[in-house]
Amino acid sequence: MAAALLPLAPTPIRAVPAWPVPAFVADGGWRPYVPAGRTLVPVPPVTGAGASPATFWSARTGLAFPAPGGYFIGPRSAGDATARWGAPDRPTSLLLRRVAETGEVPVVTDADRRQAVADLRHWRAAVLVQGGLHRGDAVRRTVDQLVGPGREVDGAWVWDVRALAG
């Protein structure tokens, strides 16, 4: 009988600390960068592999900014019911997620840069935005190598990629 009732027992919800939403995002500093039909891409982009601090930005701003692939929560595929948030993974999002997880800055090649531009176009990116991350310096340096130097604006690193993404 205990085995039958065990699934009814409450389990604690796992809580994780979240970095504050950068003022650039929270106060709408992104708006002049993101014209209609374009997106704000959080760095690292949200992937199915793990949570991104930017996952919380969207909720805390009332879904104010357009995100790559829109807002999607659902199964990974017909054969995998595991939930995912966000658009399907792209090579650049996987690269930046790996840097965020390991803190290791990769050797960035011309092929990586071409892929980043293709991914920016796929995402209809206007601006890349990085807020607080545990291995943020490594991620920032990698993005600098991919798209050129960013700049700090109101508590975030910002890369204006409108010219690159076409």
Tell me the per-residue pLDDT of 109-135, one tens digit each, with 9 for 90 and over.
999 999 999 999 999 999 999 998 778
C-alpha 165/C-alpha 116 separation (Å) is 9
Phi/psi of residue 40, nearest 5 degrees:
-95, 120
C-alpha 142/C-alpha 104 separation (Å) is 9
DSSP state of 123: H
Prior bond of 44 cis (ω within 30°):
yes
Q: How far is CA 146 from the centre of its chain?
A: 16
Asked whether 57 and 30 are in contact (CB, 8 A), the reply is no
C-alpha 153/C-alpha 139 separation (Å) is 17
pTM above 0.85, yes or no: no
Tell me: pLDDT of 4 over 70.
no
Six-digit token string for 12: 């604690």
Per-residue pLDDT tens for 42-88? 998 876 555 566 677 877 788 788 878 666 667 767 887 776 666 67
Crossing angle of the two packed helices 110-123 and 136-147, in degrees rounded to 10: 90
Q: What percent of the chain lies above the pLDDT cut of 90?
A: 53
Crossing angle of the two packed helices 136-147 and 91-102, in degrees rounded to 10: 150
Tell me: pLDDT of 137 over 70.
yes
